[in-house]
Amino acid sequence: MKNILDINVSEFENYTNSTPKEVNLYSFLTSKQYSNKVDLIRSEPDKAIKDKIKATLPAITPSGIFAPTRAIKNLIKHSGFICIDIDKKGNECLNNYTTLKDELCKIPFVAFCGLSVSGTGYFVLIPIKEPQHHKEYFCTLSIAFQDMNISIDKSCKDVSRLRGYSYDNNYYINDDAKVWDILPPIKKVIKQPVISYNSSNTDSTQYFFETCLNVIQTNCIDITSDYNQWFLLLGCLSNHFGEAGRQYAHIISQYHQNYKPNETDYEFTKALKFENKKADISTFFKYCKENGITYKTEPQPKKVIITENEILKNLIKQQYEEPGTVCFDPKINLTTNEPNYDLKTNCDTFNKKHNKYISYSKYLELFKQIKD
C-alpha cells in the first residue's frame, strides 16, 4: 500500500547535536517512543522546565538528508516536502484556532498534519514538485495561507530547518495529497538606479544601508515576505528617512510577486502617519541579515611583507639544522670578518644549493643575526 511518508530524512540526537543519521520520516512522525516527555511538556506550567525537557528530544530535517552537518550547502537529497509551522502567536485573530487542525486536514495538498510538542501549535507537510524551488514554493504557500487568514512561520523557508519530536494521537496522513507546483509569476522588474557610496559621507549607517540596497537590486532579493513584515519595513524607512524613504520603499518592494506601485505608495503614506518607535533602521538590517545580505566589510588580514634578507636568514638557519652539515665552531669570534674555513665552505654550499650568489661577508652578516 502506498505510503507518501516512506522516505528517509536526517535525524539528530537533539536540537544542539550536529551529527546526522538517517531515519524513516513516517516512523519518526508516528513513533510513541518519547510521548511521555511530550505529555510532561504539555502539562508543565513552567516554561524553563518545558524548554529543558524539549532540549532532550530528537529532531529531524523533514526536507531532506544532510551530511556531514546540517547546513544548506550539505543537502544530499531533498525529501520532496516542505514543513510548515502554524503557531498560536500571530494567529490570535482566528476564532477557530482550537479546531484549525480540522480545516488544515481538508486542504488537498496536506500530506501530514499534527500537533506541535507544546500542543498549542500545528505543523503540516506539503509535497512539492521541484525541490530546487523550495524557497519559491514557500513564498507562494505563504501567500495561499495568508489568503485563508493563517500566518505561517517564515523560518520554514529554510530547507535545513529542524522539526523537533512531537506526538499526536490523532495525526492525519493523506497518501493521495496533491503536489504543490505553484511558483511565483515571472514579473518585469523595474530597475532603479544603483546607489553608489560617496566616500566623503561619514555616516556609516547610510553606507551600510546603501550597501544592502545595492545587494538587493543586484540579486533581485525580496526581503518583504508577508504584509506584517513589509509594513514594518515601510515604517522603518519612513521613520528614518521621512518622505525621502518612499523611493527606497519601492526599491525593496518591487521584488515581491504581488508588488503594485500604487499600493506601495498608499501603504508608505500610511506608515508615515503611523508612528512606530520600534521600527528603526535596525529593523531593515535585521531582515537583510535573515536573507543572507551582509553589509559590514570584514577586516582584511594585515599583509606581511617578507624581505629578501629574511628569506636568506631562514634558509641559512635551515642549513644548520640539516643533518650532516658542517657546523660552526662556537669559539670563533663572530665579530670579526676574518675568513673561517667551515663558514666559507657552508657559504659555497649554500650558493650552489639555492642557485644564489651572496658574498661571504653577506653570508657572515646574516649568520651573525641568526645566532644573536
For residue 36, name the pLDDT band (cuts at 50, 70, 90).
very high
**Which among 109, 7, 20 is positioned nearest to 63, based on CA atoms?**
7
pLDDT at 328: 47
Q: Containing domain of residue 234, as a range? A: 204-290
Residue whose cell numbers read 522603518: 236
Do residues 222 and 75 share a domain?
A: no
Do residues 14 and 139 share a domain?
A: yes
The answer to whether residue 2 is domain-embedded is: no
Do residues 215 and 166 share a domain?
A: no
Q: Count how many domains the chain has.
A: 3
Q: Which of 129, 156, 173 is the last residue of a domain?
A: 173
Q: Is the pLDDT of residue 228 over 50?
A: yes
Do residues 230 and 274 share a domain?
A: yes
Q: Is the pLDDT of residue 39 over 90?
A: yes
Q: Is the pLDDT of residue 186 over 80?
A: no
Do residues 89 and 216 share a domain?
A: no
For residue 342, name the pLDDT band (cuts at 50, 70, 90).
low
**What count of other Cβ atoms lies within 10 Å of the Cβ of residue 62?**
24
For residue 1, name the pLDDT band (cuts at 50, 70, 90).
low
The answer to whether residue 65 is domain-embedded is: yes
The answer to whether residue 178 is domain-embedded is: no
Residue whose cell numbers read 530524512: 9
pLDDT, tens digit (0-9, with 9 covering 90-100), for 348-371: 887 877 777 788 788 888 877 776
> What predicted TM-score, i.e. pTM, was given to this entire model?
0.56
pLDDT at 67: 93
Do residues 81 and 210 share a domain?
A: no
d(CA 135, CA 146): 16
Average pLDDT (14-42) is: 94
pLDDT, tens digit (0-9, with 9 covering 90-100), for 249-295: 988 988 887 778 888 888 999 988 876 666 788 889 888 988 888 76
Q: Which of 290, 321, 354 is the last residue of a domain?
A: 290
The answer to whether residue 198 is domain-embedded is: no
The answer to whether residue 282 is domain-embedded is: yes
The answer to whether residue 195 is domain-embedded is: no
Do residues 158 and 234 share a domain?
A: no
d(CA 85, CA 68): 26
What amino acid is encoded at 366 in this protein?
Answer: L
Do residues 258 and 166 share a domain?
A: no
Do residues 234 and 281 share a domain?
A: yes
pLDDT, tens digit (0-9, with 9 covering 90-100), for 131-152: 999 988 988 898 889 888 898 9
The answer to whether residue 295 is domain-embedded is: no
